[in-house]
Amino acid sequence: MPVNKPVGAGVSSACFFPLETADSVKILSEWHIPNIEIFFNSFQELKDGYLERLSALCREAGTQVVSIHPFTSNSEPLYFFTSYPGRLQDGLMIYRPFLRAAQKLGARVLVFHGATLQNRMDIPQSAANLRVLDRVAREEYGVTVAYENVVRCRGKDPDYFVQLREYYPELRFVLDVSVEEFLQLHARCRDRRAAPAEVLALANEITPEPVALRQGLNQLSGGQSRALMIADIALICDSPIVLIDEIENAGIDKERALGLLQKSDKLVLVVTHDPHTALMARRRIVLAGGAVTAVVERTAGEASLYEALGRAYREQRRYQTQLRKGACLA
């Protein structure tokens, strides 16, 4: 449904595929989406006439093209993650028109998928090839290549990005913002007044690894990410129902985390195999084969067991804290 005023969001033209790109951009501009990504689906769309058409649509609506996305992502391993002579130069030849399109549209970012899970090019050479592409993009077109964490690619694993960045520190990512910038953006999109410092203070109550406002999102550990997500849900997200998988993972304080979510007046559903976590709830649903097989009320005996498991859990966390500080446990 079209909206009558700008919203704090960004949308890709790919959302309307297989609608032609210009028609998708026209819809987004009519909806007054202020920031968009243009997903190019044909080399024909990189020609001057077509780019001028896209530019006019955005200019008339005050829409900013933030990024562009080539339809050739599946071929990136063939050109940028191979040692075969000449392939890298072929890749640059194919991607220059995309970079030129980004430049003409005022987009600052080209989204890149990179190596697939099957590609085993070593990290140093992968980083070296990425450096060549990124330098051409920056120096000749004023565009930054942003690596996207796609589930079918090696970038699904954050450690892969960490290793690449050791060899090419200038490498950037799709969500390459600080914790503070992310929280500000989310609060603006949700029209909420929560201050980043307030959300951060809540997150640091449930993680033993403190998070800093200036820390990059891609630098957070699993525990820090989980803690930030929970604090963000509690203070910014307005969804009435929250589903969390295995809240006990990643080393956060699950008792305090669930307490925070309950205080935020939300219905919390937790998927777990942990007895202590399961017994936190007064009622639990048993699933098997994709169906609900039972709904079980917590008994008085289970309530007592929960208290005993809670004492053991808190003792375990005390030992974990000591280990992090380098203490000897016995």
250 confidence band (pLDDT: 50, 70, 90): low
Residue 329, CA distances (Å) to 20, 207, 208, 308, 310 in order: 64, 21, 18, 22, 20
The percent of residues in the chain predicted with pLDDT above 70, rounded, is: 96
| Whole-number pLDDT of residue 17 | 92
d(Cα 246, Cα 230) in Å, to the nearest integer? 13
For helices 196-206 and 222-235, give the axis angle rounded to 10 degrees. Answer: 130
246 lies in some domain: no
6 confidence band (pLDDT: 50, 70, 90): very low
- Using an 8 Å Cβ cutoff, are 178 and 217 in contact? yes
3 confidence band (pLDDT: 50, 70, 90): very low
Query: What digits encode the pLDDT tens for the residues 25-42?
Result: 999 989 888 899 999 999
161 lies in some domain: yes
d(Cα 73, Cα 62) in Å, to the nearest integer? 29
Q: At 267, phi and psi to the nearest 5?
A: -85, 115
| Whole-number pLDDT of residue 2 | 39
- Using an 8 Å Cβ cutoff, are 284 and 278 in contact? yes
- CATH number, position 114: 3.20.20.150
291 lies in some domain: no
38 lies in some domain: yes
Alpha helices in 207-299 (DSSP H): 222-235, 254-263, 275-278
330 lies in some domain: no
Helix (H) or strand (E) holding 99: helix 87-105
Burial category of 197 from C-beta neighbours within 10 Å (exposed 0-12, middle 13-18, buried 19 and up): exposed
List b or e across 233-271, with b for residues whose CB sees 16 or more CB atoms inside 10 angstroms: bbbbbeeeebebeebbebbbbbbebbebbeebebebebe
SS3 label, residue 296: strand
Q: Which of 213-217, 306-310, 320-324 has the highest mean pLDDT?
A: 306-310
- In this model, does residue 323 exceed pLDDT 90? no
pTM, two decimals, is 0.61
d(Cα 209, Cα 129) in Å, to the nearest integer? 34
Residue-range definition of the domain harbouring residue 105: 10-176
- Using an 8 Å Cβ cutoff, are 261 and 242 in contact? yes
Lowest mean pLDDT among 10-14, 22-26, 262-266, 289-293: 262-266
9 confidence band (pLDDT: 50, 70, 90): low
| Whole-number pLDDT of residue 292 | 92
Residue 77: which of 117, 49, 30, 24 has the closest Cα? Answer: 117
Residue 197: which of 215, 212, 218 has the closest Cα? Answer: 212
248 lies in some domain: no
Which residue type, as a one-letter code, is found at position 289? G
Lookup: tokens for 123: 């990290």
223 lies in some domain: no
297 lies in some domain: no
| Whole-number pLDDT of residue 224 | 87
192 confidence band (pLDDT: 50, 70, 90): confident
Number of domains in the chain: 1
